[in-house]
Amino acid sequence: MTKQLTTVEESKMTYRPEVHPRHVRVLAYAEARVVLDAALAEAERIGVPASVALLDAGRELLAFGRQDGAGLLTGEVATGKAFTAISLGTASGDLAVAANTGGDFAALHHATSRNLVTFAGGFPLVDAESGNLVGAIGASGGSLDEDIAIAQAGVTAFLELAR
């Protein structure tokens, strides 16, 4: 049987600020906008109308942009790439081989309520100080190489924010 904590002093014994969620770095909206703007600027620079999505550590949409001329499905695909990257902690394109060979990954793909997207162009955003995943970026609209370049521009902007 678990002992009920009855006093303030007893309850303080269980609180550990170093692991409490409010002490974990989060991706702020203002930071997400900087990352989003950098990615969209790269899309414009290379002439690819794109959609870019940023998800927070909770896998919720934090910032999104869809440029004029971007295809209708690009928003969903960009969000899916970011979702895959934050959920599995790796670039979405790294999973293409695993997805195509069946086995455990194929079962995982069917076990989730949201689609995992294994096309390149989704990357986790990792806090350099703690090593924690704080979000993810996904880009869609061009070739896989173009989507990678667009998302990487966002990753670079994220890393520069930490300096």
Average pLDDT per run of 10 along the chain, which is 163 residues long? 46 46 75 98 98 96 98 96 93 77 61 76 92 95 97 97 85
pLDDT for res 97: 67
In a domain, 18, yes or no: no
Query: Is 71 a member of any domain?
Result: yes
Domain containing residue 66 = 25-161
How many domains does one find in the chain?
Answer: 1
**CATH code (residue 79):** 3.30.450.150
Q: Is residue 39 part of a domain?
A: yes
Check: CB of residue 151 under 8 Å from CB of residue 85: no
Neighbours of 1 (CB within 10 A): 3
The answer to whether residue 137 sits within a structural domain is: yes
121 falls within a domain: yes
Report if residue 4 sits inside a domain. no
- Decide if 13 is inside a domain: no
Q: How many CB atoms lie within 10 A of CB 109?
A: 17
